[in-house]
């Protein structure tokens, strides 16, 4: 029996093609027509695997989430160094997003029903509660870290300044005399900013953790002071 000229269409092939299109041209570039052409199939054949374009983008987002290392939360039966685990996880998460920044708006919607996204949320929450954080605090930590990491991956701060020393007149911007140098130092600036922010977050969480475990914890008042 002769082999087909092209590999059979599959979910994985569709996700890979859609991911490449998102990386190259952004979310708006994804359409069933473009994907079908890239895969060498007819448009309707995609619907055998995905019902909508949004479902395809959700799958692309989940594929990115699946690349995030979660092994630092699994210590077997030993105690978890929650701060070190969050630090390592944050860098792995950001690295995955940095490779695919155009998919970040989809990830920012939350995990929804995406399996890899849910495993990620489950791992963080489970690790924090196992380390002694109350469930409500563990939920907030997961949200806080996600806000920070996703925000850092949306765009480059350094690239927001043009590489033109005449663009920032000292008469108008007396403190931006060296701003034109930021673009060429993008990696140093952006990575340094991420590490500075991450350290500050973890320092603050460490203070809260110590307070929870050495002082009586009182819940904050409700909306009406109750």
Query: Please, what is the end-to-end C-alpha distance for the chain in angstroms?
Result: 75
Helix axes 115-130, 82-99, angle to 10 degrees: 160
Minimal CA–CA distance to 64: which of 118, 116, 14, 140?
Answer: 116
Res 16 pLDDT > 60: yes
The pLDDT tens digits for 130-159 are 999 999 999 999 999 999 999 998 888 888
Least confident stretch, 66-75, 86-95, 160-169: 160-169
The reported pLDDT for the residue numbered 226 is: 34
**Can you tell me whether residue 28 is helix, strand or coil?**
helix
The reported pLDDT for the residue numbered 121 is: 96
The pLDDT tens digits for 188-224 are 999 999 999 999 999 999 999 999 998 544 444 444 4
Residue 6: pLDDT band (50, 70, 90) is low
Q: 145 near 124, Cβ under 8 Å?
A: yes
Alpha-carbon distances of 206 from 134, 141, 200, rounded to whole Å: 14, 12, 10
The pLDDT tens digits for 27-45 are 999 998 899 998 988 878 8
The reported pLDDT for the residue numbered 75 is: 80
For the chain, give me the number of helices (H) and strands (E)?
8, 0
The reported pLDDT for the residue numbered 201 is: 97
């Amino acid at each position: 029996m002769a082999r087909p000229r092209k590999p059979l269409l599959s979910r994985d092939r569709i996700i890979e093609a859609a991911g490449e299109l998102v990386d190259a041209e952004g979310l708006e570039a994804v359409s069933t027509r473009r994907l079908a052409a890239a895969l060498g199939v007819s448009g309707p054949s995609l619907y055998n695997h995905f019902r909508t374009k949004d479902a395809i983008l959700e799958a692309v987002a989940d594929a990115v989430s699946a690349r995030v290392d979660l092994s630092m939360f699994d210590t077997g039966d030993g105690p978890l160094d929650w701060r070190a685990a969050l630090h390592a996880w944050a860098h792995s998460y950001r690295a995955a997003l940095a490779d695919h920044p155009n998919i970040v708006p989809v990830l920012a919607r939350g995990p929804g029903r995406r399996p890899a996204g849910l495993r990620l949320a489950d791992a963080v929450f489970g690790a924090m509660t196992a380390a002694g954080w109350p469930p409500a605090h563990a939920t907030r930590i997961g949200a806080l870290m996600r806000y920070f990491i996703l925000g850092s991956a949306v765009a480059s701060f350094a690239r927001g300044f043009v590489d033109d020393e005449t663009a920032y007149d000292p008469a108008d911007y007396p403190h931006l005399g060296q701003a034109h140098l930021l673009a060429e130092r993008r990696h140093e600036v952006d990575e340094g900013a991420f590490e500075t922010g991450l350290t500050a977050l973890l320092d603050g969480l460490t203070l809260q953790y110590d307070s929870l475990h050495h002082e009586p914890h009182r819940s904050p008042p409700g909306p009406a002071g109750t």
